[in-house]
Chains A and B, each alone.
Chain A
Amino acid sequence: MIAQHAAVLVVVLPLLCAPLVALLRDARIAGAAVLIIAALDAALATLLLCQTLDGTVISYALGNWAPPIGIEYRIDLLAAAMACLLSYAATLVALFLPVSLRGTIAPGDQPRLFAAFLLCLAGLVGIVVTGDIFNVFVFLEISSLSTYVLIAMGAGADRRALTAAFDYLVLGATGATFFVIGIAFLYVVTGTLNMADLGERMATAPKRAVIVGSSFIFVGIALKAAMLPLHRWMPNAYAYAPAGIGTFLAMTATKVSIYLLIRMSDFVFDTPGEIGRVNFAALLPPIGLAMLVAGSVIAVTTKDLRRLLAYSSIANLGLMLVALGLGGIAGIAAALVNLFNHAIIKGGMFATTAAVLHRRGTTRMDALAGLSRDMPVAFGFLVLGGLALIGVPLTAGFVSKLLVVKLAFEQANWLVVGGVMLTSLITVAYVWRIVEAGMAAPAKTAPRHDLHPAFLLPVGLLGAATIGLGIWSEPMLTLAGRIAAQMIGGAP
């Protein structure tokens, strides 16, 4: 029964539980409830992954209305893998979220924050499981609206969270509106909202309307994916959101936009031999390279650890776009490996940063002095994440960078090879800044006061995965390869 309906339960569970959690009075009970719900959702997502691992595509007709007339939840390997990433990220964050909120957000407000967190999870999971393009818009807005609220909750520690949330609201709502305009154009010429159906009918639809529609959709997604030059909202949002929320967003929000790009590439991107499609793939390498270089350079100059990590995320998103732009099964596979590995590496670093923030109350670079002595474990995990960002062998970051460089090498795309190499050097510079700041002698010696126990499990797991996926990279590569093959070969 549950296995049969897992496709819809994975969205419905957090969606229905959110208002119930908001009604709870006790912050501790609400925090525990969020952890249980996120873990159950992760179990459902794992179930979906098991069901789709052999290549089956689950098609769930909502309310038993047969697609393409009714709304269809369509879960292939990519959707299941993304749902796993999102729900596991939520579970790990839920482990330390209550602790990280202590002191900055009144206990009375916390249940409502947890509710927004669950809504955000429901929206993000909804985006990946639905097969209906208007549904994507609705879930996009559910996740965005809750994200605005979550970021604004950071105001208890820093009032700039309010303006960060407002900036994101204006840009995010504009981007989402672009997305709906695009849907309108595609709907007019195809008469369908089901994405698989849309892809089929697009081939014979009037070319100009398709180009306009897909351009609007591309810009809408680009805004959500913090693509240069539409990235302005992202560093502030990550730096001022409550620490646990920042970790969750870094692991999920922009990743889902990259997912959308891949999903839309089913019909938005050019496929050889078909007419009426726009080739956005050609745009991606230049945008990606610009993000790679600009993100890394700005990361070197920042004065705050969370802001540094946010700019580094822009660079890594650039790497994913470059991989996507290189095209083919190998390109999509490389982008996916980058996506999952980066979520794990950056998730671990942001979680560690949350632990540092919890102990020190600030993440300014000059306030990190003495970190290697007072919080050696946290410092160790930060350095580990930094090494993975550089792409040192035996870390997950090495595998992701190697894939992109290898692909570019095969295509004789020297610009990409050079760009990735150059940014690795710049990455060394900003990772060294973290090491230098942490090793600096503190003004006064503080007693050793390491990670709060709540952070140990998530930080440890993500750190272990960073090394594990670097040494034992085969399963991830196989999974990404199978997803990419299903996208290109099995796409209707």
Chain B
Amino acid sequence: MNKKVLMQGNKVIAEAAIRAGCRFYAGYPITPQNEIPEYMAENLRKIEGGTFIQSESEIAAIHMVIGASAAGARAMTSSSSPGISLKQEGISSMAACELPGVIVNMMRGGPGLGNIRPSQGDYFQATRGGGHGDYRTIVLAPATAQELADLTMEAFDLADKYRGPVIMLADGMMGQMMEPVVFRTPRPRNYHDDFIMKGAEEGKSKIIRGLILDPLDMEEHNWKLDRKYKLISQTETRHELYKADDADIIIVAYGTAARIAKGAIKRLQDSGLKVGLFRPITLWPFPERELRELAERVEDFLVFEMSTGQMLEDVRLALQGYAKISFHGRPGGIVPTPAELANVIVRHCDERCKDI
């Protein structure tokens, strides 16, 4: 059995990536994710075929990942919010060219340079594609160090399976916190040789490009991508339920906010209030069918985010007016306490009683 180790979140991602077979990493430093490039610099050089590059910019890093991916490497880059904005041009290219790759975003307060505290303000950017053009990216939102490890490995598998960029969306707290983690043995890579550029005189010529000038060809390519996204939406949603079985009110939260929500729910255990949690693990595809099913017996949903309300819109789309939806948010790099959220829930329930 693999051993349990105490490890910082950023390093967990880096170690999981290396174990999953990532052999190319390019990145540019930014707090709070610097331990990822630090760990990659130290450890990729010890591995045969491993390449670490501290690039001259975030834009360079994502394009290096594109090149490595086209050449058949499992490739990754990481950054935090402002740096991820810079990478969008490349992420859009990867979607167009159908190149696999993993992009890690340890979110911080924004917009602009914002601050370096944990935040969840990049939900829209991550789940709506982020760059220009008609595309989607799979977005995974871990909430524990164990999930950082498991989902990083899974991100590489999903990137290969659907040939496109996969976003790991966490925040500064997940990146800085240490927790025990057991690294599972990764699945062997399953990626067809046909998609790999091997250079001259290595089989048939291949073209990888995102520039498709004929609008009919472009439309055809768009529909092809769309079929892929539909398939992903149908098959790849993941979520966790906590104390939801007999709940009267469901908190919807992801990542760090979901941990805080769990803490709040525990605090309310003896209060008589029946509170449960719905935690999306894939933010795109959003687990909307699963949330919608909950609305068949729960009428009251409270969305909690460390932002001014972004996932809130996906919850509205999923519930389609079938349930009441409220919101509590703390943007800007504030990490609220479970005690605060518990007070918010109690107040919310008091007001609901007044309505009845």
Tell whether A pairs with B: no
| Chain A residues proximal to chain B, CB less than 8 Å | none
